[in-house]
Structure 1
Amino acid sequence: MEFIFPDVGEGISEGKLVRWLVKEGDAIKADQEVAEVETDKAVVEIPAPVAGIVGKLIHQEGDIVEVGKTLMTIEQEVVSKPAAPAAAASPETSTGPPAQQAQSVPTQTSSSSSAASSSAPPAQVPVVASRHSDDILAVPRVRILARKQGIDLGAVQGTGVFGNIRLADLQGQAGSPALNAAGQPVAAASPAVAHVAVAPGERPLSGAPSSAQPLAASHPEVLASPSTRRLARELKVDIGMVKGTGEHGMVTKTDIRDAAKGGIASAVQPTVQATASADMSARSISAPVRSPSSADLYIPMSATRAAIARKMTESSHAAALVTHMDEADVTDLVALREKEKERLAQQGIKLTYLPFFVKAVVVALQQHPYFNAMLDEPNQRIVLHKQYHVGIAVDTEEGLIVPVVRNADRLSILEVAAAIQDLSGRARTHKLRLDEMQGSTFSISSIGSVGGTHFTPLTNYPEVSILGIGSIRDRPAVRDGAVVVRKMVPLSLTYDHRVLDGAQAARFMNTIVELMQDPGLLLMELT
């Protein structure tokens, strides 16, 4: 059997094969890890779906493998069972080796038996109920061909691993021509139903004839991931009416959210002329500002950098972001840390300023709960989180990674310090699990160790706020009428103006400043 590279996490479309954990000929158990794959979020171990013998390792270490592609083959022991006398096949009608016959779904017989059974009632042909699109396993190439040929993938019985629909499975379906070994149609077929001609990658319009599907339809011909389809259902968006902006016209989550915000009409191209205009506009925006030069250096974006780009674009487009700035006098905090850091270092704990900020943020979130929230825009409501999961932005060689300190309200400052030390260390060595980078309700981004003052951090959407921390520096300050040198830290709070207003941001920041300027008060708040 073919082991298809599975979807290892939301939004993951491909991964880099870091290391094989098995070799050809090895006996493996079900759920045994067979490979390490690096995604744009972490290095994950891929388990085998079944027990068997490793057949062929399709890819080399270092290869980029797309989700839905064959990762390796697994040979399983097939226990032969005597066929029932009535179902026994004659030598003339038997085709292919026994193993192949056992895996195939018979859809047609030889010409001699076909003639004898041409008058057989349709009930003798297995009928496959149309499934929900989330249950359909098919790679983009299969979905594209099915869409072109007007085939409902929900009614196709897949013969691949886990029921994956292959190109060969499309043969014999309505509107589908015969395919050659390369999966290309060898003869044109008459369409099964009349349909409205649309431009490549377009969806039928709302005024289309009966070939257009109703709002509740799952639209298996549309290229979209299961999580995107689930989001469309949650936001009550007809995914069949959304123009996909992804590769090969794939519908993305951003497309769904845009459709939910402005109505389906905003995401549908009403005419070919409008489509061309939109495409020209998109090209003009993304076009290089200057012609390429032989002196230019072109560097492909890493998976991590591409994920950061998508996430930051989503945040800046989906929310109305404003940044409130202030500073805090942390002279007493610096003295406290200097006093304790050597003692804690002997216990293996690296005490930085970040754990103090995490605890101050938790107290501020408890006092100002709308900062620990998300906006459920389709239902016009604000969701206030009861958990305090703080994301910590970590600078790595590949880009920014945001592991999550979960239930930070239940941890002491030293426990937060230990958690940050562990998570940041594993983030830099690609050892984080996917679940350790998901589910944050508020985030902190610190550039203090690098240098800088105020900046405008972008929220980790759908969070509504993020705290940016600059470098602690000696600055002149007025105390009791005298100018003195104090340890000052610049703070930047970015928030979603759709949920929060400026006065709320000022109050939240005042709480942070008050706690950071008086470590004793912070410790009292935690008791």
Structure 2
Amino acid sequence: MADLKEARVPDIGHADVPVIEVLVKAGDRVEKEQSLITLESDKATMEVPAPFAGTVKEVKLKVGDEVSEGAVIALIEADGEAATPAPAADKAESAPEAAKPPAPAPAPAPAETRDKPAPMASQGVQPGNAAEGDAAPSARPPLDASIVMPGDAPYASPAIRAFARELGVDIQQVKGSGRGGRIQRDDVSAYVKHALASGARPTGGASASLGGLNLLPWPKVDFAKFGEIEEKPLSRIQKISGANLARNWAMIPHVTQHEDADITEQEAFRKKLGEENKDLKISPLVFQIKAVVAALKQFPQFNASLDESGEKLILKKYFHIGIAVDTPDGLVVPVIRDCDKKGLLELASDLAVISKKAREKKLGPAEMSGGCFSISSLGGIGGTYFTPIVNAPEVAILGVSKSAMKPVWNGKEFAPRLMLPLSLSYDHRVIDGALAARFASFLATQLGDIRRLLL
């Protein structure tokens, strides 16, 4: 008889992710890397593969369950290994009460570890597999977080630590609500929200402090007293992006420079290009991406980020552009890579693919990271100018509004021209007003003469 092993959820970068599909059942034969379940995070769906081949004996999860790293997916009878009983604690959960053999009463656990959960099998040793010559334990020992994370180190996955650094939070100040005191993503977000509401400083270095904002607490109102209401929960994307936006708006000194670009010739060329490539949508956004890349090359201070200390400027030699995509669940910003090496048609193809994946929530972590500069286009909706919020750790973002035909003086007369409103928000710690004005003017010139995009 083969060994009965646990298939567990690996590090997925999020906590409490819902199960939307169970792909196996008891009795199914699975191969290594075959998908067991499908999870849906705030930005993507992901399938969790089997870590080994074998036969499924019991499925521990169902659709609707919320899981984190280490959660048991299924018990699988692994191929080609010596027989070893399943962990006693899990057997006790699955066996009928009448089938349980009598067992001596266990010794009481020490007070400080009595309520702590058992360690995960993924941490190196399969529970229930005793070394040769040793007696097999009757149950898994309780988790002692001080062994896993010695001293005062916070108990959190690398993904959660990176998320905390991104928000400028000292993770040692965050209290974990997960298993064994593990810090989860929602714990970090809640810490930031509380800091913003109370005016506290989320200790993460001088550059990460909120500057001692003395904010009033959020008003508590019983809206039902005034009329009929309906409560609608925020989506996961809205919850997470809300904390990011609040952090960026509070911590980055925003200034917005407005400019108009004459895109009359560009629009005529775009329509002609679309007629020649009917199977590919050529949106104005691809021209904006090319113009932004040209401007970033001309003004490298915009293609930069402040380091965590706020004392060094990191200049980037690559050109990855984030594109804000409106989805039913909220705004996401996937990244198109190496835009300086791609032509208009290739960018149009990449834009179509990544926008579709964003709306279907199938973006991977690599497609959401590494951006140098973001573009938020409302041109298909309307409006004139707005103030987009800088997407940290970037130092600038371009907002694009709806183009409109306007009379423009050409030196002899007023002529109708298609004008595109641009709104450039920037981090005033890195970029001053004069540099921003030059950047915006250069960008408008690039958009106004498509021949310059070929230079």
Q: Shorter-chain TM-score: which interval? A: 0.7 to 0.9
Can you list the C-alpha shifts for 1:301-337, whole angstroms capped at 9, x where unaligned?
Answer: 1112212212212322332222111111111111111
Can you list the C-alpha shifts for 1:215-267, whole angstroms capped at 9, x where unaligned?
Answer: x97524x3544345468899999754x25498889463876993232499x89
In the superposition, relative to structure 1, how do residues 382 and 56 fare at CA in structure 2: closer, same or farther (>3 Å)?
Answer: same
- Tell whether 2:290 aligns with 1:318: no
How high is the TM-score relative to the length of structure 1? 0.67
In the superposition, relative to structure 1, how do residues 521 and 31 fare at CA in structure 2: closer, same or farther (>3 Å)?
Answer: same
Question: Quick one: which of 3, 7, 12 aligns to 1:8?
Answer: 12
Q: How does 1:154-173 map to 2 (within 5 A)?
A: 158=119, 160-163=121-124, 169-170=141-142
Cross-structure match for 2:293: 362
In the superposition, relative to structure 1, how do residues 292 and 436 fare at CA in structure 2: closer, same or farther (>3 Å)?
Answer: same
Cross-structure match for 1:54: 56
Unmatched 5+ stretches in structure 1: 82-96, 105-109, 115-144, 176-215, 268-277
Q: 1:300: how far off? A: 1.1
Question: Quick one: which of 222, 243, 266 aligns to 1:333?
Answer: 266
For the residues of structure 2 that align with 1:372 and 1:150, how far apart are their CA atoms? 50
- Tell whether 2:220 aligns with 1:288: yes
- Tell whether 2:204 aligns with 1:260: yes
- Tell whether 2:112 aligns with 1:149: yes
Q: How does 1:86-485 map to 2 (within 5 A)?
A: 98-100=85-87, 149=112, 158=119, 160-163=121-124, 169-170=141-142, 219-220=152-153, 222-229=154-161, 240=172, 242-244=173-175, 250=183, 252=188, 258-262=202-206, 285-293=217-225, 295-345=228-278, 348-378=279-309, 380-485=311-416
Cross-structure match for 2:94: none
In the superposition, relative to structure 1, how do residues 232 and 334 fare at CA in structure 2: closer, same or farther (>3 Å)?
Answer: closer
For the residues of structure 1 that align with 2:322 and 2:369, how far apart are their CA atoms? 9
In the superposition, relative to structure 1, how do residues 150 and 319 fare at CA in structure 2: closer, same or farther (>3 Å)?
Answer: farther
In the superposition, relative to structure 1, how do residues 219 and 333 fare at CA in structure 2: closer, same or farther (>3 Å)?
Answer: same
Cross-structure match for 1:129: none
In the superposition, relative to structure 1, how do residues 51 and 430 fare at CA in structure 2: closer, same or farther (>3 Å)?
Answer: same
| 1:260 alignment partner AA | G
| 1:286 alignment partner AA | W
Report if aligned partners of 2:53, 2:79 keep a CA contact under 8 Å in 1.
no
For the residues of structure 2 that align with 1:329 and 1:63, how far apart are their CA atoms? 53
Unmatched 5+ stretches in structure 2: 92-102, 128-138, 196-200
1:169 is paired with a residue of what secondary structure?
coil
For the residues of structure 2 that align with 1:75 and 1:286, how far apart are their CA atoms? 53
1:286 is paired with a residue of what secondary structure?
coil
The structure with higher relative contact order (CA 8 Å, sep 6+) is 2
Q: 1:7: how far off? A: 2.6
| 2:49 alignment partner AA | P
For the residues of structure 1 that align with 2:120 and 2:229, how far apart are their CA atoms? 48
Name the stretch that deviates more: 224-233 or 31-40. Answer: 224-233
In the superposition, relative to structure 1, how do residues 18 and 249 fare at CA in structure 2: closer, same or farther (>3 Å)?
Answer: closer
Equivalent pairs, count: 407
For the residues of structure 1 that align with 2:90 and 2:66, how far apart are their CA atoms? 29
| 2:11 alignment partner AA | D
Can you list the C-alpha shifts for 1:184-242, whole angstroms capped at 9, x where unaligned?
Answer: xxxxxxxxxxxxxxxxxxxxxxxxxxxxxxxx97524x3544345468899999754x2
For the residues of structure 2 that align with 1:246 and 1:360, how far apart are their CA atoms? 46
Q: 1:350: how far off? A: 0.7
In the superposition, relative to structure 1, how do residues 246 and 497 fare at CA in structure 2: closer, same or farther (>3 Å)?
Answer: farther
Report if aligned partners of 1:475, 1:488 keep a CA contact under 8 Å in 2.
yes
Report if aligned partners of 2:8, 2:71 keep a CA contact under 8 Å in 1.
yes
Cross-structure match for 1:37: 39
In the superposition, relative to structure 1, how do residues 168 and 263 fare at CA in structure 2: closer, same or farther (>3 Å)?
Answer: farther
Report if aligned partners of 1:19, 1:37 keep a CA contact under 8 Å in 2.
yes
Can you list the C-alpha shifts for 1:115-135, whole angstroms capped at 9, x where unaligned?
Answer: xxxxxxxxxxxxxxxxxxxxx
Q: 1:382: how far off? A: 0.4
For the residues of structure 1 that align with 2:410 and 2:306, how far apart are their CA atoms? 42
For the residues of structure 2 that align with 1:68 and 1:230, how far apart are their CA atoms? 19
How high is the TM-score relative to the length of structure 2? 0.77
1:491 is paired with a residue of what secondary structure?
strand
Q: 1:514: how far off? A: 0.4
| 2:395 alignment partner AA | V
Q: How does 1:487-526 map to 2 (within 5 A)?
A: 487-523=418-454, 525=455
Q: 1:102: how far off? A: 13
Q: 1:101: how far off? A: 7.5
Report if aligned partners of 1:453, 1:490 keep a CA contact under 8 Å in 2.
yes
Identity %: 35
For the residues of structure 1 that align with 2:452 and 2:25, how far apart are their CA atoms? 59
Q: 1:407: how far off? A: 0.4
Report if aligned partners of 1:448, 1:471 keep a CA contact under 8 Å in 2.
yes
Report if aligned partners of 1:373, 1:382 keep a CA contact under 8 Å in 2.
yes
| 1:25 alignment partner AA | G
2:277 is paired with a residue of what secondary structure?
helix
Q: 1:162: how far off? A: 3.6
Can you list the C-alpha shifts for 1:436-492, whole angstroms capped at 9, x where unaligned?
Answer: 122111111100011111111112211111111101111222221422221011001
After superposition, the CA RMSD in angstroms is: 4.0
2:33 is paired with a residue of what secondary structure?
coil
Q: 1:72: how far off? A: 3.1
For the residues of structure 1 that align with 2:161 and 2:125, how far apart are their CA atoms? 18
